[in-house]
A and B are shown apart, each in its own frame.
Chain A
Amino acid sequence: MSSALLLQSLILGILLGGLYALLAAGLTLYFGVMRVVMIAHSAFLILAGYLAWFFTVTTGWDPLISLVITVPVFFGLGVAVQRLLMTRLKPASLTMMSVLLTFAIALVIEGMLGFTFTGVQRRIKLDYGAASIELFGAQVAVVKLVAFGLAVLALGALWLVLKKTSFGQALRATIQHKEAAELVGVDTAKVASYGFGLGLATAAVGGTALALDATIYPSLHWHWIGPLFAIIVVGGLGSIPGAAIAAMLLGITQSLLQVPLGTTWAQTVFYLALFVTLIVRPQGFFGGRLAQRF
């Protein structure tokens, strides 16, 4: 591999890793706050992608503007899903049953997308869709930079919410010790539903970022859910910084492997990393003291 190609792959890997970090952030958040395994997260990503596409087709405006609508709507949707559905699950079997429940939600979303928009592949047409700029001597597509920028902004905002707001303090306290959080006066039920809303809000941004540079179709979410779960297990379930580090490392590795192995084989890096993690360090590599052991 020439050094120019290596550099190009590395840069693309970093951009990809940033996007993965955003896509996985919500997933690890649901688990951290509620011990919920949210199979439908990637279906919501694709839903957001479709809404961005539909928004651009009907208005002719930039898909990023659709975030003004989709982020609050997804937040509300998350609160509703948590309050109306998740709270019906028995605490003792919550994690297991949440897999079934969210699997069903994913099927419903996929079905509705197929029904509404048909199974035809869609792609957002952008003025800057084919543009690229030179970065450290490598050619980088503008859409990838925009997607990365969106991921950085959204993760930065998430970090601010978690670290600097009183809701964020309550949410982190709930993740770290639920009973103690209740005993200092945190309403953990409310935190759970807002936490779920926050997770889906990241899906709105992530799905839009994803759709900038991808062809979307209703069943695309199955392609994403495996890699995303691999990321949060490697990073340590429930840890957002852990997921971000794992996403970056796996994104870079995948990108570097694409040149010699091709895209299909490079994808296996997620599953390899997942197996190695489960064998060597089931609590994940970057989750710290909180990470759950499977």
Chain B
Amino acid sequence: MESEHLLELVDIEAGYGRAALVLRGLTVRVPPATIVCLVGPNGAGKSTVLKVASGMLVPRSGRVVVQGKDVAGDGPQQMLRHGLAHVLQGHSVFPEMTVAENIKLGGFTVGDKAVLNERIERVKTVFPIVAERWNDLAGLLSGGQQKQVEFARSLMISPKVVLLDEPSMGLDPKTTATVFEQVVRMRDHGTAVLLVEQNARRALETADVGCVLDLGRVHISGPARELLEDPELSRLYLGGRPAA
């Protein structure tokens, strides 16, 4: 089976408990070395898409395909093994553990000590804050610093696809730039990124592909540049006309 995509969500229907469906026939495809950005209003179901992809939420129907293999129904542990890493919206460090313990837990499923140490060194160089605050409790870091630890932690499995839920929320412009730089660098190394961003304009400027989510479906999708230039879209979802 040819698999030109790393991750495909096809005709996904998903929701919480007995409540109405949140996703109603959603399809998103993430090719290798591509940043795909999901935008949409609050409550559109963006985080829900990522939860389906990482196995936290099992879809009612539809296919979750990783490298050509349908893995719908797999839980978070299996999805991790398939190479999917998910950075949650909001804060998700282990606050009463040190930064070191947090990062090492990112490699919880990595058996090989040497590989683990190598990856630790790598995330320390990419995120200097991780090295600087190595022995501090993660809960004592500032919000933006915690976000960087979470991001670093997710890289410990050397993921094929990273699912990022509003990574720039609460970050200063410089740190946001670091995170986006890192996203671009990962893409350049072949990792795919499925990105959800509050700052839609900024995200679309970085992304290769954009998808606009509304009413549980992908409303419009296309090259991110084109979405940015679409005046109708700008008015509805990006808060006004482009600055240019």
Interface residues of A (CB under 8 A from B): 166, 169-170, 172-173, 176-177, 179-187, 288-290
Contact = CB atoms under 8 A, between A and B. Distances in A.
A121 B96 CA distance: 44
B97 interface: yes
Interface in B181-233: none
A289 B96 contact: yes
Contacts of A176: 94-97
19 contacts: A166-B108, A176-B94, A176-B96, A176-B97, A177-B95, A180-B92, A180-B93, A180-B150, A182-B56, A183-B54, A183-B80, A184-B105, A184-B106, A184-B109, A185-B109, A186-B105, A186-B108, A289-B95, A289-B96
A66 B237 CA distance: 69
Nearest to A290: B96
Given A183-B54, A183-B56, A183-B86, A169 B101 contact: yes
B77 interface: yes
Contacts of A169: 97, 101, 104-105, 108
Interface in B139-178: 139, 150, 153-154, 156-157
Choose among B81, B85, B97 the residue with the greatest number of A CB atoms under 10 Å from its CB: B97
Contacts of B157: 185
A5 B3 CA distance: 81
B65 interface: no
A289 B86 CA distance: 24
B76 interface: yes
A180 B54 CA distance: 11
B183 to A, nearest CB: 18
B96 A187 contact: no
Contacts, number: 68
Interface of B: 54, 56, 75-77, 80-81, 85-86, 88, 92-97, 101, 104-106, 108-109, 139, 150, 153-154, 156-157
A170 B108 contact: yes
A180 B156 CA distance: 14
A173 B77 contact: no
Contacts of A184: 80, 105-106, 108-109, 153, 156
Which 7 pairs across A and B sit closest by C-beta, in order of nearness?
A185-B109, A180-B92, A176-B94, A182-B76, A185-B108, A185-B80, A184-B108
B77 A187 contact: yes
A180 B77 CA distance: 11
A179 B75 CA distance: 12
Contact of B95 (A181, A182, A290): A290
B88 A180 contact: yes
A162 B93 CA distance: 18
A184 B94 CA distance: 11
Choose among A170, A173, A182, A183 the residue with the greatest number of B CB atoms under 10 Å from its CB: A183
Nearest to A170: B108
Given A169-B97, A180-B92, 14 more contacts: A169-B105, A172-B94, A173-B105, A176-B94, A176-B97, A179-B56, A180-B88, A182-B76, A183-B85, A185-B80, A185-B157, A187-B77, A288-B96, A288-B139
Contact of A179 (B81, B88, B106, B109): B88
A278 B93 CA distance: 28
Contacts of A186: 105, 108
A110 B105 CA distance: 42
A271 B184 CA distance: 58
A180 B108 contact: no
